[in-house]
Amino acid sequence: MKHLNKKQITNFLFYTVILLCFSPLMSTSLALLAGVVFVLLKGDTPSEINISKLMKYLLQLAVVLIGFSMDLSQVIQTSKTGFWITLISVTLTMSVGMILARIFKVERKTGLLICCGTAICGGSAIAAISPLTTASKDQISFSLAIVFLLNGAALLVFPFIGAKLNLSQETFGYWAAIAIHDTSAVVGAASVYGPLALKIATMIKLTRALWIIPLSLVIYILGDKRGNASIKIPWFIGLFVLAILLRHFVPDWENTFIHLSWLGQKVLIVSIFLIGSTISFREIKKAGWNPFLLGITLWAFVSLSSIIILIH
C-alpha cells in the first residue's frame, strides 16, 4: 500500500475535523482548539481552498441561517436598546484606541485598523476599512493576526468569566456583543453560555456591524484617497433580516426553520475551526509587541468598562 505524504495526511486531518464539526462531539471551543493544534502541528490548509474567502462566506451563511431562530418582536426590542449602547461604545472605543496607539507608538494605519476591528466587528471591519487606506499588506495582516488571537482568547475566557460573575444570559449577550471582536467569536461564546445569550449577542453584534458603513464614510472623507477605494457594505445583514421576517410571517415552516438554524450552528463551528487553523504565530511575532499591547489594552478597556456599566 502506498504511503501517504505529509500533505495528504494534513489534508485528511483537515477534512476530518470539518466533518466532525457537524457532529454533536464538536463544540465551538473544541473547534477553535482543533484549529490552533492544527497550526502547531505545522499543518498547512489545503492549497485548493481559499481559506480566507471560505471563512468569510461560511460566517455570513451561518449568521443568515441563525436568523431563522430569531423572534421578530425580541429583535425589535433588542435593537432599540442596542442602538445607543453601540453608538456610545463605538465612539468611545475609537477615541480611546487612537490615543493608546499614540502612547504605544503604533504606526497610524496599523493602529487605525486595530481600533476599527475592536470597535465594530474584528476581521470584517478591518477587511472593510483597509481598502479605504494606504495600509500595506503587512499592516493589514498584523492587525488581523492580533484580532484573531484575541478572538480565540475570548471564546474561552468570556463564558468562564460570565459564569464566575453569575451573569444572566441577557447581560452576557450584551457584554459579548460589545467586547468581543468578530461576529463568529461573539456567536461562539454566546452559544456556549445559552440560547438567550446567543440571540441577544447576535442581534447586537449585527447592529454594530452596520456601523462599518458610517465609519467607512468618515475614514474615506478624512483619510488618504486611492482611485480604487470602495466601501464594502455587509449585504448579508439584509439576508439575516429576511430570515427573521420569513420566520415571523411564515409560521407553517417552523420545522424547516429549526433545521436551517441547526445548520447555521454547525457552519459556525466550521468557521471557528478555520479561524483557529489560520492563526499565524509568525505574523504575530513579526508584528512586535507594541501593536499587540495596543490590541490587548484596548480590548481590556472595552471589556472592563462595558461589564461595569452592564452590571450596575
- Residue 184 pLDDT more than 90? no
Q: Best-predicted range by mean pLDDT among 72-76, 96-100, 229-233, 308-312?
A: 96-100
> In whole angstroms, what is the distance from residue 212 CA to residue 196 CA?
26
Give the Cβ contact number of residue 34 at 10 Å.
Answer: 22
> In whole angstroms, what is the distance from residue 288 CA to residue 284 CA?
7
DSSP for 55-94, please give it: HHHHHHHHHHHHGGG--HHHHHHHHHHHHHHHHHHHHHHH
Q: Do 264 and 58 meet the contact criterion of CB atoms below 8 Å apart?
A: no
Cα distances from 94 to residues 3, 100, 101, 115, 127, in angstroms, run: 54, 10, 10, 6, 17
Helix axes 169-179, 137-164, angle to 10 degrees: 160
**What are 38-64's pLDDT values in tens digits?**
877 766 667 667 777 787 688 778 878
Region 117-144: what's the mean pLDDT?
A: 75
DSSP for 94-109, please give it: HHHHHHHHHHTT--HH
Q: What is the pTM of this model?
A: 0.67
Lowest mean pLDDT among 204-213, 251-260, 266-275: 204-213
Torsion of CA 99, 105, 108, 114, to 10 degrees: -70
**What are 146-167's pLDDT values in tens digits?**
887 788 788 889 999 999 999 9
Residue 179 pLDDT: 92
| Closest C-alpha among 54, 66, 17, 13 to residue 188 | 66
Residue 227 pLDDT: 47
Residues 6+ apart with CB under 8 A from 283: 141, 142, 145
pLDDT band for 11, please (50, 70, 90 cuts).
confident
Lowest mean pLDDT among 12-26, 177-191, 268-282: 268-282
* Percentage above 70 pLDDT, the chain: 82
pLDDT band for 224, please (50, 70, 90 cuts).
low
Residues in the chain: 312
Q: Which three cell numbers stand for residue 198?
A: 446567543
